[in-house]
A and B are shown apart, each in its own frame.
Chain A
Amino acid sequence: MADFDQELDATGLNCPLPILRAKKALGGMTAGQVLHIIATDPGSVKDFEAFAKQTGNELMESKEEGGKFLFLIKKA
């Protein structure tokens, strides 16, 4: 797992909360910093792909581990 600057625990949250929380967290970060997101909503896998594509933030990693979905997003 690559390094990250900030972590967001979005476990137990359902659509659209993981995205909204991630957006908020990224808002407080500087360009180039990496946000690590932990989610349990299976829908978030596709949603974070779409979020990255539309906001220009880079989805560096997306994986499943022990029923949790982990994402690394680099702020543009």
Chain B
Amino acid sequence: MSDEKKLAIIATKGTLDWAYPPLILASTAAALGYQVQIFFTFYGLQLLKSKLDLQVSPLGNPGMPMPMKMDKWFPVLGTAIPGMQSIMTMMMKKKIKEKGVASIEDLRGLCLEADVKMIACQMTVDLFDMNHKEFIDGIEYGGAATFFEFAGESDITLYV
């Protein structure tokens, strides 16, 4: 047993915005000397795809700031019109770049480089008829018991 601190994270969301918290926290904790594990389950598995296609949607998210005060004059239903999701995703990605925020690909790479252990939920892989080939190399597949093996001796556990 090492005296390294441990951080265990469960990542359940598969949108561009929610991809950030687990990866930012994991990479930073690793830089601070933590041993880190992330368990990706349900939609969180999207973060492990070799070809990332993460989107963000204003639909059902009144907290999302929209450009040109669109949220002020757009009816709620307007956020559901076709194309809105890709427009918002495009704008978000542009902002991310402009503000010097890391891309999800970069953050994920930094996590792997820092030996953050990533575990994909095998049950979800089966449930959604996914294939191991769709995912990046260097990850493991396991279930809830695998998560608890590490989480049980962690100093911090987070559910995102």
Chain A interface residues toward B at CB < 8 A: 12-17, 19-20, 22-23, 40-41, 51, 54-55
Main secondary structure of the interface of B (DSSP, over half): loop
A22–B110 alpha-carbon span in the complex (Å): 13
- In the assembled complex, 14 residue pairs joining A and B whose CB atoms fall closer than 8 Å, in A order, are A12-B100, A13-B102, A14-B99, A15-B24, A15-B101, A16-B28, A19-B28, A20-B27, A20-B28, A20-B114, A41-B100, A51-B32, A55-B31, A55-B33
A15–B28 alpha-carbon span in the complex (Å): 9
Chain A residue with the shortest CB-CB distance to B23: A16
The residue that B31 contacts in the complex, of A14, A20, A41, with Cβ under 8 A, is: A20
Contact between chains at A17 and B102 (CB < 8 Å)? yes
A23–B102 alpha-carbon span in the complex (Å): 16
A31–B27 alpha-carbon span in the complex (Å): 23
The residue that B110 contacts in the complex, of A14, A20, A54, with Cβ under 8 A, is: A20
- Residues on B with C-beta less than 8 A from A40 are 100
The residue that A23 contacts in the complex, of B24, B31, B99, B101, with Cβ under 8 A, is: B31
Contact between chains at B27 and A13 (CB < 8 Å)? no
Contact between chains at B31 and A19 (CB < 8 Å)? yes
- Residues on A with C-beta less than 8 A from B33 are 54-55
- Residues on B with C-beta less than 8 A from A17 are 100-102
Give the 4 A-B CB pairs with smallest separation, nearest first: A23-B31, A16-B28, A14-B100, A12-B100
- Residues on A with C-beta less than 8 A from B101 are 14-15, 17
